[in-house]
């Protein structure tokens, strides 16, 4: 009962005060003046107790408050026998408190829906069937079964194709299909058939468990909500008391002083600003951004300098297969198929991308046997009668590898790539290069941050200077700080504070000190949270860093609306206070007028609940389906793009064989060019419509034309050779292939950034 009263106190006061005020009005209408007077007195006393309790609570928390004005106004109404004015003030206070409680509860509900779905148990696959275990007992490398309708308990890798409802994490309502070998995050709901996953995290470090902790922390910080406008109370309370005292002293009439206090009851300060800020918290939560309190939201709106980490922030934070380099006379597709087959049962960070790449290329990945994983080195197993090993160069090739492997190592060092060797039956057959690609939405995020008021963007990374500089140039930062330790990032924050309020964006444990030291720390938790999320003020729970720019837009708008509500409400209140001091407003009339002013201010504040202009582009469901289909085609021709470079690499002027080049151009004409024409016909208009301007797609159209032109030139060159190639022909052919490869790589990056990044991120 006590808990129920605590949750519903504001509503109880509102209902009782409304009944007493209305009952008094009815009694007065039927000439029962005494009954009316006592009802209004009871209502005023109720308001006085309510306001006095709020004042005592504020004093106990040692924070300034304007509730004292309401206490004086209510007490003064009783002292000068103006109970109707006091009853109106009580109703006004109760109405405002209910509105604030509703807005706060709405923001909490947006977050708390997540915690209610947290899984408690998991079904582990063991030798003799299934065993149900607590989620806390799940270990890395366990095989779990997730039935239809169940929430995935921990992060893992899929053994088969599956379909999930990921709306709890991304906000995207449509089910998402995931191929075998791809990683799946905890917290999503299996909406297909039973699916098996290989766990890659424990429950404590999984995405959903971390999200639940963040929600609980955000709720703890936000309650009690610190009224952002209380800072003005220090000046407003003395001003009101001086004006009321002056009115009494000059006129000799205490009623004037009460009238001043009545119209000074500052609901715009008490409620309008908090409603706007809490509405901003709710809007940000809907975008997948957990903001830990109104103070963090206001600071986010004032951010002018952004320091951003590279790995997992500007880059995906997860390697992708960049190239397959084979030994002389090797078969890259077969090497990748065998490697992916054994990697299915490996929890290593490079295993998932290898399996995923093989599945995307349509390779026949089979289940291995006799699998053993050597920690920190690699994995080995039997696939179709072949002993296959995949892992580090030194583990497989030793410290004196063949020449072609040394070239692979040098290329990996130059590109900043990771590498794994593939050994089949004791012979090294291929090297797999994996790279952490730049997020397609990273350049757009930087541009959007600048539109949101950020004047300076600094990339602070622990990576090498050349790698950091390459990423910085592509995304468009102002400065790159490479080889940074956590201490270096703290020093950089100190230097950058001279340019304005600082925002630090990161996702690693080493970012936690800087996140805590910045004016606003922003952590990425879409793939699981670490200490960075605990130290941050803002946490992105969606795998889209451009959500930060949207959150800044929401914060700035909420803050702006809060100031507008306060300015309008308090400006009109000050005018009314002067009128009351001069004797033009009686306490009852003043109370009614203040009610109108308060409702106007609250109405202005409630505008923050409505959606505002964001930098993100809203797509129709039809456009999303079209874009998803085109991206699938785009991904299917990606191996063909890499084949262009491989064919060019293999050309030899001393052995002028152009058969591979002819087969390549045939494939380009039958597979690549139709895709580029479809992009021009369907993708370009879609992006132009989404961006609202044709200028956004001019570069895409130009590269479509250039690709077709380059393929046509290759065909003409090969036709002119006609089976009798000269060394000069080979040199020219190699040059043209490399040129086409460069155009294709640039074009793919353009499409990723300008088009496919419009789709919600699901991984």
Catalytic residue positions, numbered = 309
C-alpha closest to that of 504 among 537, 475, 481: 537
The whole-angstrom separation of Cα 597 and Cα 267 is 9
Question: How many other C-beta atoms are found inside a 10 Å radius of the C-beta of residue 677?
Answer: 12
Question: How many other C-beta atoms are found inside a 10 Å radius of the C-beta of residue 590?
Answer: 28
Task: Name the pairing type of β-strands 303-308 and 501-506.
Answer: parallel
C-alpha closest to that of 617 among 686, 682, 680: 686
Q: Is 631 exposed, middle or buried (0-12, 13-18, 19+ CB in 10 A)?
A: middle
Contact between 534 and 600 under an 8 Å Cβ cutoff? The reply is: no
**Cα–Cα separations (whole angstroms), residue 294 to 107, 234, 517, 528:** 11, 20, 18, 25
Q: Is 247 exposed, middle or buried (0-12, 13-18, 19+ CB in 10 A)?
A: buried
* Contacts (Cβ under 8 Å, ≥6 apart) of 56: none
Cis peptide before 224 (omega within 30 of 0): yes
Q: Is 592 exposed, middle or buried (0-12, 13-18, 19+ CB in 10 A)?
A: middle
Structure tokens at 716: 């003409």
Largest CA distance in the chain: 116
What is the dihedral sign for C-alpha 648, 653, 657, 658?
positive
The whole-angstrom separation of Cα 307 and Cα 562 is 28
C-alpha closest to that of 595 among 18, 12, 6, 8: 18
**Side-chain half-sphere exposure of 272, counting CA atoms within 13 A:** 28
* Contacts (Cβ under 8 Å, ≥6 apart) of 681: none
Per DSSP, the three-state class of 197 is strand
The whole-angstrom separation of Cα 755 and Cα 413 is 31
């Amino acid at each position: 009962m006590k808990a129920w009263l605590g949750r519903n106190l504001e509503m109880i006061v509102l209902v009782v005060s409304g009944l007493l005020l209305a009952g008094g009005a009815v009694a007065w209408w039927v000439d029962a003046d005494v009954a009316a007077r006592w009802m209004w007195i009871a209502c005023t006393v109720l308001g006085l107790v309510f306001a006095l309790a709020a004042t005592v609570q504020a004093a106990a928390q040692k924070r300034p408050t304007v509730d004292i004005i309401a206490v004086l106004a209510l007490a003064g109404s009783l002292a000068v026998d103006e109970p109707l004015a006091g009853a109106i003030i009580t109703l006004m206070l109760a109405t405002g408190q209910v509105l604030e409680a509703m807005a706060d509860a709405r923001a909490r509900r947006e977050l708390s829906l997540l915690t209610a779905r947290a899984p408690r148990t998991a079904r582990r696959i063991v030798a003799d069937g299934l065993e149900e275990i607590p989620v806390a007992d799940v270990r890395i490398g366990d095989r779990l079964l997730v039935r239809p309708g169940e929430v995935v308990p921990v992060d893992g890798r899929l053994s088969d194709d599956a379909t999930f409802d990921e709306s709890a994490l991304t906000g995207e309502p449509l089910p998402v299909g995931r191929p075998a070998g791809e990683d799946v995050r905890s917290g999503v709901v299996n909406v297909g058939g039973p699916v098996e996953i290989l766990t890659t995290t424990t429950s404590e470090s999984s995405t959903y468990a971390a999200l639940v902790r963040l929600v609980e922390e955000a709720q703890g910080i936000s309650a009690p909500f610190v009224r952002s406008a209380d800072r003005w109370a220090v000046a407003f309370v003395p001003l009101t008391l001086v004006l009321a005292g002056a009115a009494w002293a000059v006129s000799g009439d205490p009623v004037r002083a009460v009238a001043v206090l009545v119209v000074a009851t500052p609901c715009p300060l008490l409620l309008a600003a908090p409603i706007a800020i809490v509405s901003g918290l709710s809007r940000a939560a809907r975008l997948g951004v957990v903001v830990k309190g109104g103070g963090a939201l206001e600071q986010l709106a004032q951010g002018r300098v952004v320091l951003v980490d590279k790995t997992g922030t500007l880059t995906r934070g997860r390697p992708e297969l960049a190239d397959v380099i084979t030994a002389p006379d090797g078969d890259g597709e077969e090497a990748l198929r065998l490697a992916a087959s054994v990697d299915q049962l490996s929890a290593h960070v490079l295993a998932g991308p290898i399996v995923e790449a093989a599945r995307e290329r349509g390779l026949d990945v089979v289940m291995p046997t006799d699998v053993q994983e050597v920690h920190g080195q690699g994995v080995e197993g039997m696939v179709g009668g072949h002993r296959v090993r995949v892992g580090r160069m030194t583990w497989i090739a030793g410290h004196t590898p063949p020449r072609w492997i040394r070239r692979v190592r040098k290329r990996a060092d130059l590109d900043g790539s990771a590498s794994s060797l593939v050994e089949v039956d004791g012979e090294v057959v291929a090297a797999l290069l994996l790279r952490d690609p730049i997020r397609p939405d990273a350049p757009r995020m930087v541009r959007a941050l600048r539109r949101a008021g950020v004047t300076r963007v600094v990339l602070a990374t622990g990576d090498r200077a050349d790698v950091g500089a390459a990423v910085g140039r592509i995304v468009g930062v102002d400065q790159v700080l490479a080889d940074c330790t956590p201490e270096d990032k703290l020093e950089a924050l100190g230097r950058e504070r001279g340019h304005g309020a600082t925002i630090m964006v990161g996702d690693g444990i080493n970012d936690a000190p800087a996140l805590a030291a910045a004016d606003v720390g922003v952590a990425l938790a879409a793939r699981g949270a670490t200490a960075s999320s605990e130290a941050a003020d803002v946490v992105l729970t969606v795998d889209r860093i451009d959500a930060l720019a949207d959150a800044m837009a929401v914060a700035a708008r909420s803050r702006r609306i809060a100031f507008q509500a306060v300015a309008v409400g308090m400006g009109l209140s000050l005018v009314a206070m002067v009128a009351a001091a001069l004797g033009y407003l009686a306490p009852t009339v003043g109370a009614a007028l203040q009610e109108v002013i308060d409702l106007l201010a609250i109405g202005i504040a409630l505008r923050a609940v409505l959606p505002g202009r964001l930098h993100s582009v809203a797509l129709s469901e039809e456009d999303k389906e079209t874009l998803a289909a085109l991206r699938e085609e785009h991904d299917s021709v990606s191996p063909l793009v890499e084949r262009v470079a491989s064919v060019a690499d293999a050309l030899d002027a001393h052995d002028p064989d152009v058969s591979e080049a002819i087969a390549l151009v045939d494939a380009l004409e039958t597979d690549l060019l139709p895709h580029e024409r479809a992009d021009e016909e369907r993708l370009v208009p879609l992006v132009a419509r989404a961006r609202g301007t044709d200028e956004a797609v001019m570069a895409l159209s130009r590269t479509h034309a250039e690709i077709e032109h380059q393929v046509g030139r290759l065909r003409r060159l090969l036709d002119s050779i006609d089976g009798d190639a000269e060394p000069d022909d080979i040199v020219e052919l190699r040059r043209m292939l490399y040129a086409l490869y460069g155009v294709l790589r640039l074009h793919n990056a353009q499409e990723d950034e300008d088009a496919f990044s419009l789709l919600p991120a699901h991984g």
